[in-house]
């Protein structure tokens, strides 16, 4: 039962929602509907608590607050957010919601209930075989995305629900935390980005980093705090002259100081392999102006641009014009990077109030402005949503293929190209001329035979770049070809080609068998059954051998890495001595997922209780996530591993919480990058410290020198992260060495 303090807490939390809702509701009738939804949900969840111990109703209230305050949705969405768990967690039905709140709110609640059911399904299908279970979870994600077909508000409310869940993720057990964080990174963060919900995307990224890479997160937070203390006053001095000029021009405006997020800094450090000190654009200054009548927003943005560049020197190659050409998620702004008088680069973002609303609230704000007629440019997201709907409506599309390609399109940046008539089109970076043809219309793609890019004849496989003018040449006799699948990037285009080729599937299966047989004969392999099973696992062909043969036949699998596939699980060089114990027979549930799985060694037998994932090569001391394989073994990945994120998103029921035992005698493979000023004897000093002083074995050493600078990497075997950190500190002290850092093994 609830205490008096619980009831006071509920009332206090709802009061904030009450104030926000009154502002967003069109009239008193809508406001009364929100109050009715709260009373209904409050009664339905009465006496129920969350894992944190708080009354459960606080979760729907928090989701509704995000919906109204951070996304900007209205009455029906607020009601649906308050009611979103009622059907799933109580005895009430969608019919009850429909009777009390109408068809639209009931439809939103029904869509949200289906999403929650789909996400929870992997915990209810533990007895499925591995491939079937993977396909099932992929199909569950596909069902989530079908809600884009119904009402995009369902996805927006679900993003609010996911945001609140990760905000309170500390109360969940670790195995469930890993599943939720992986789903969040794999699907919900890219989806928030594509829908223009930048602040939600950024917050979820930071929470992901905080729990996946806690040491890196803490270090970056501390460094940002130091930078703020050191440079805060300098930024104020930088802003002061800009204020004076804007005041003279009569602008009403707001200037905000923004620090880069910990996740964006960590991402830049890891992808570019640079230290924190080399992140130059830590600060951003955002100018949000109230548009003056009689001038376009574009003209006013460029006026402010010229004002700033009259005060400070700017870096031309860092100017980004997203006013003329908004991003595919609707983002509009003018960005420039200028040199402050203090000698540091500062990014300045210029937005109108309308642009800022779209940047903060994404697709919801875009549609609000579009309906009111105040938007100045058409948003490409409408076209993208239509393409997604077309793909989803195809009943034959393979769920795993769709999910992989949809995820890739979500995370791909955009370029702008032009039709022969000068109309601009936004496409994902990397798209080819043929992708553009299918973007225009499926029949244009099906009959395409060549293209002209900037008036020059090119093949259909030609990758497009920003600013290209593209003309597609078609012929009535033109037909889709299998080799197109080798270079097409668009999932929609691939789907169109696959549909056309489906009638020829029997021939492609036969072709695939012939191609594979020839490759195996060249290697002297006669035993096929074990090889086929290994290749099915390696290439993730969940449809079995027919799918494997078909994909080989149509060119989706080119067998260029066949030798690597054949060696899979046969040789693991991540560990110097190895052997993996079989932990449990298939499906007997011997491993308790609710308890931490101990990662340990048996030195006498030369075995471990786990496999090392070769995609990220974790070593003792790393934050890791473990997955139970079909044969009962456990494979561990770094928590920050992108492969692990994908696995957890489609195979969430396999996740096990894992921790390292205290003592490890075996040596694990790690890589460090190193660079510095070249001198005679530096290589000798490096190898002496590694081998003689620290007693560490090296597997590979690659060093190059140019212009008196040396750089390269060293692969070596260490016992744990403490040993690796000790070695990095020792190498950093060698004369001439400028930087030593652990990096991923490619």
Residue with tokens 């510095």: 676
Residue 60 exposed, middle or buried by CB count within 10 Å (0-12, 13-18, 19+) = buried
- The rounded distance, in Å, linking the Cα atoms of 92 and 126 is 28
Strand 345-352, strand 283-289: pairing: parallel
Distance CA(733)–CA(28), nearest Å, equals 71
Q: Mapping DSSP to helix (H, G, I), strand (E, B) and coil, where does residue 453 land?
A: strand
Between the CA of residue 360 and those of 68, 285, 330, 374, 652, what are the distances in Å? 12, 16, 11, 17, 31
Contact status, residue 359 vs residue 198, Cβ threshold 8 Å: yes
| Helices assigned H by DSSP within 379-504 | 381-392, 399-411, 433-440, 442-446, 491-501
Handedness of CA 230, 232, 238, 241 (dihedral sign): negative
Strands 424-428 and 448-453: unpaired
Active site residue 708: no
SS3 for 516-527, per residue?
Answer: HHHHHHHCCCCC
Residue 63 Ramachandran class (φ > 0 left, ψ -120 to 50 alpha, else beta): alpha
Q: Two tokens at 38?
A: 């709260």
Catalytic member of 6, 13, 88, 614: 88
Catalytic residue among 54, 89, 221, 321: 89
Distance from C-alpha of 746 to C-alpha of 744, rounded to nearest angstrom = 6
Kindly report the CA angle at 562 between 558 and 565, in degrees rounded to 5?
A: 125
3-state SS class at 409: helix
Residue with tokens 């009664």: 43
* Tokens matching residue 419: 């039709």
Whether the CB-CB separation of 703 and 740 falls below 8 Å is answered with no
> Is 371 among the catalytic positions?
no
Strand 320-321 with 334-339, pairing: antiparallel
Catalytically active residues, by annotation = 88-89
């Amino acid at each position: 039962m609830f205490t008096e303090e619980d009831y006071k807490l509920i009332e206090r939390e709802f009061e904030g929602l009450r104030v926000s809702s009154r502002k967003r509701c069109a009239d008193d009738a809508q406001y009364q509907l929100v109050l009715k939804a709260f009373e209904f949900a409050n009664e339905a969840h009465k006496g129920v608590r969350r894992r944190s111990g708080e009354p459960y109703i606080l979760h729907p209230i928090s989701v509704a607050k995000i919906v109204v305050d951070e996304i900007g949705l209205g009455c029906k969405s607020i009601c649906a957010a308050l009611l979103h768990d009622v059907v799933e967690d109580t005895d009430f039905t969608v019919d009850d919601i429909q009777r009390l709140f109408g068809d639209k709110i009931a439809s939103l609640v029904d869509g949200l209930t289906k999403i929650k059911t789909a996400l929870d399904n992997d915990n209810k299908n533990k007895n499925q075989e591995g491939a079937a279970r993977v396909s099932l979870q992929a199909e569950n994600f596909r069902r989530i995305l079908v809600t884009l077909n119904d009402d995009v508000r369902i996805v927006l409310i679900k993003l609010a629900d996911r945001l609140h869940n990760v905000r309170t993720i500390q109360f969940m057990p670790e195995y469930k935390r890993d599943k939720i964080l992986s789903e969040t990174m794999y699907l919900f963060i890219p989806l928030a980005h594509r829908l223009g919900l930048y602040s939600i995307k950024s917050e979820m990224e930071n929470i992901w980093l905080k729990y996946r890479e806690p040491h890196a997160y803490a270090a970056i937070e501390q460094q940002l705090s130091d930078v703020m203390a050191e440079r805060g006053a300098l930024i104020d001095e930088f802003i002061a002259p800009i204020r004076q000029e804007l005041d003279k021009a009569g602008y009403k405006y707001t200037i905000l100081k923004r620090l880069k997020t910990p996740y964006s800094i960590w991402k830049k450090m890891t992808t570019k392999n640079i230290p924190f000190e080399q992140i130059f654009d830590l600060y951003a200054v955002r100018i949000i102006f109230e548009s003056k009548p009689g001038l376009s927003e574009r003209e006013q943005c460029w006026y402010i641009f010229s004002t700033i560049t009259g005060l400070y020197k700017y870096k031309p190659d860092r100017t980004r014009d997203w006013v003329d050409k908004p991003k595919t998620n609707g983002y509009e702004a003018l960005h420039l990077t200028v040199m402050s008088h203090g000698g540091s680069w500062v990014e300045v973002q210029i937005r109108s109030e309308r642009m800022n609303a779209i940047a903060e609230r994404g697709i919801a704000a875009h549609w609000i402005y579009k309906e009111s007629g105040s938007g100045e440019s058409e948003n490409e997201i409408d076209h993208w949503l239509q393409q997604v709907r077309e793909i989803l409506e195809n009943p034959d599309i393979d769920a795993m293929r769709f999910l992989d390609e949809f995820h890739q399109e979500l995370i791909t940046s955009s370029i702008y190209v032009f039709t022969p008539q000068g109309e601009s089109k936004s496409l994902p970076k990397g798209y080819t001329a043929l992708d553009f043809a299918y973007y225009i219309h499926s029949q244009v793609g099906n009959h395409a035979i060549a293209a002209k890019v900037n008036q020059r004849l090119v093949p259909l496989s030609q990758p497009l770049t920003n600013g290209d003018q593209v003309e597609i040449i078609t012929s009535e006799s033109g037909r889709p070809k299998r080799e197109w699948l080798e270079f097409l990037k668009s999932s929609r285009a691939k789907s169109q080609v696959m549909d056309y080729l489906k009638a020829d599937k029997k021939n492609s299966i036969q072709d695939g068998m012939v191609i594979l047989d020839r490759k195996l004969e060249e290697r002297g392999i006669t035993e096929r059954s074990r090889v086929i099973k290994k290749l099915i696992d390696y290439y993730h062909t969940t449809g079995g051998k027919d799918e494997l043969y078909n994909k080989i036949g149509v060119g989706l699998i080119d067998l260029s890495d066949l030798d690597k596939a054949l060696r899979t699980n046969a040789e693991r060089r991540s560990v110097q001595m190895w052997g993996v114990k079989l932990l449990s027979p298939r499906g007997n549930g011997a491993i308790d997922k609710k308890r931490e799985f101990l990662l340990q060694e048996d030195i006498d037998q030369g075995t471990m209780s786990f496999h090392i994932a070769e995609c990220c090569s974790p070593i003792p001391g790393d934050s890791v996530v473990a997955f139970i394989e079909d044969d009962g073994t456990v494979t561990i990945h770094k928590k920050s591993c992108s492969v692990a994120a994908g696995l957890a998103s489609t195979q969430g029921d396999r996740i096990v919480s894992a921790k390292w035992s205290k003592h490890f005698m075996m040596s694990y493979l790690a890589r460090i990058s190193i660079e510095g000023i070249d001198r005679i004897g530096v290589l000798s000093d490096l190898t002496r410290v590694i081998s003689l002083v620290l007693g560490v074995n090296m597997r590979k050493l690659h060093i190059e020198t140019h212009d008196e600078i040396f750089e390269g990497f060293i692969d070596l075997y260490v016992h744990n992260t403490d040993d690796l950190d000790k070695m990095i500190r020792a190498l950093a002290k060698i004369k001439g060495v400028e930087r030593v850092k652990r990096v991923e093994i490619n």
